[in-house]
Amino acid sequence: MWQQNYNPTGSPALSTLLAALPVLILLGGLGFFHVRAHLAAIAGMLAAFAIAMFVFGMPGAMAGKAALFGGAWAITVPCWIILNTMFLYKLTVKAGLFQVLQDSIGGVTNDRRLQLILIAFCFGAFFEGAAGGGTPVAVTGAMLIGLGFHPLAASGLSLIANTAPVAYGGSGTPILVLNSVTENTDSYLLALSAMVGRQLPFFSVIVPIWLVMAFSGWRGTKQVLPAVLVAGFSFAIPQFLISNYHGPWVVDMVSAMISMLLVVVFLRFWHPKQVWLSAQPGSHTVPWEVAQAHRKANQHDRNRVIAAWAPWVLVSAILMLWAWKTWKGVIDIKGISLIDYPIDGLHKMVERVAPVVAEPHAEAAVFKFGILSSIGTGILIAGLISGLIMKFSPREMLKTYVETFQSLKYSFITIFAMLALSYVTRYSGMDATMGLAMANTGWLYPFFGTLIGWLGVALTGTDAGSNALFGSQQQITANQLGLSPTLMAAANSSGGVMGKMIDAQSIVVASVATNYIGKEGVILRYVFWHSIALASLVGVLVMLQAYVPPFTHMVVKP
Q: Along the 558 residues of the chain, how does pLDDT read in single tens digits?
A: 999 999 999 999 999 999 989 888 887 887 678 788 788 889 999 999 999 999 999 999 999 999 999 889 888 877 887 788 889 888 998 999 988 887 787 678 889 999 999 999 998 998 888 767 677 888 899 889 888 899 999 999 999 999 999 999 877 888 988 887 788 788 999 999 999 999 999 999 999 999 999 999 999 999 999 999 999 999 999 999 999 999 898 899 899 999 999 999 999 999 998 888 877 766 677 887 777 776 655 568 888 889 988 998 888 788 778 877 788 888 888 878 888 899 999 999 999 998 877 789 898 899 988 889 888 898 899 999 999 999 999 999 999 999 999 988 888 888 788 778 888 988 998 888 887 887 788 899 999 999 999 988 887 778 887 887 788 778 878 887 889 999 999 999 999 999 999 987 788 888 888 888 888 889 999 999 999 999 999 999 999 999 999 999 999 988
Q: Are 340 and 135 in contact (CB under 8 A)?
A: no
Spatial CA neighbour of 252 closest among 263, 236, 233:
236
Is the bond preceding residue 550 a cis peptide, omega within 30 degrees?
Answer: yes
Decide: helix, strand or coil at residue 14: helix
DSSP per residue, 479-510? HHHT--HHHHHHHHHHHHGGGTTTSHHHHHHH
The H-assigned helical ranges of 354-393 are 375-389
What's residue 114's pLDDT?
95
Given CA atoms 259, 262, 264, 269 in this order, what sign does their dihedral have? Answer: negative
- β-partners of residue 352 are 361
Q: Are 63 and 53 in contact (CB under 8 A)?
A: yes
CA distance 354 to 360: 7
What's residue 555's pLDDT?
95
Strand segments (E) across 259-402: 274-275, 286-287, 338-342, 350-352, 361-363, 366-370
Q: Are 254 and 238 in contact (CB under 8 A)?
A: yes
CA distance 66 to 49: 9
CA distance 263 to 245: 25
CA distance 493 to 37: 27
What's residue 442's pLDDT?
86
Q: Are 471 and 435 in contact (CB under 8 A)?
A: no
CA distance 466 to 376: 22
What's residue 384's pLDDT?
96
Q: Are 357 and 472 in contact (CB under 8 A)?
A: yes
